[in-house]
């Protein structure tokens, strides 16, 4: 039985809007994932999390969180979602948000 693995951490050092996000992690298998976003600043933030297929674009990807408000010094965990081999998890949002990708490899 596979356990939950820590897959990636991405620090949003400058603000990025939906459509100009950053690749937080690219899958090397089929995973059940979630993303924890933590606002490390004293200002309210917003986040975007998208699954992009290897043949698609971020704008045409699966929206997991879109313009989700994230109050100062708070965290939010997405629901669990599946990613296939070579899919990417793309994140964007306000500066000072830290994204943590975790998942379970599906055998």
Nearby residues of 48 by Cβ (< 8 Å), 6 or more positions away: 17, 18, 21, 63, 65, 66, 67, 68, 90, 91, 92, 93
pTM recorded for the entire structure:
0.92
CATH 2.60.120 fits 5-105, yes or no: yes
DSSP structural state of residue 82:
E
**Which residues pair with residue 24 across a beta bridge?**
none
Chain Cα centroid distance, residue 43: 20
| Per-residue pLDDT tens digits for 48-93 | 999 998 777 767 789 999 999 999 999 999 999 999 999 999 999 9
Q: Where are the domains of the chain?
A: 5-105
């Amino acid at each position: 039985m596979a356990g939950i693995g820590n897959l990636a951490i991405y620090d949003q050092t400058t603000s990025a809007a939906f459509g100009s996000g950053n690749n937080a992690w690219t899958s090397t298998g089929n995973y059940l994932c979630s993303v924890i976003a933590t606002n490390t600043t004293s200002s309210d933030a917003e986040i975007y999390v998208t699954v992009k297929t290897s043949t698609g674009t971020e704008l045409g990807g699966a929206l997991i969180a879109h313009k989700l408000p994230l109050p100062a010094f708070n965290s939010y965990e997405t629901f669990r979602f599946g990613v296939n081999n070579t899919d990417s998890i793309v994140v964007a949002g306000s500066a000072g948000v830290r994204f943590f990708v975790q998942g379970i490899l599906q055998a």
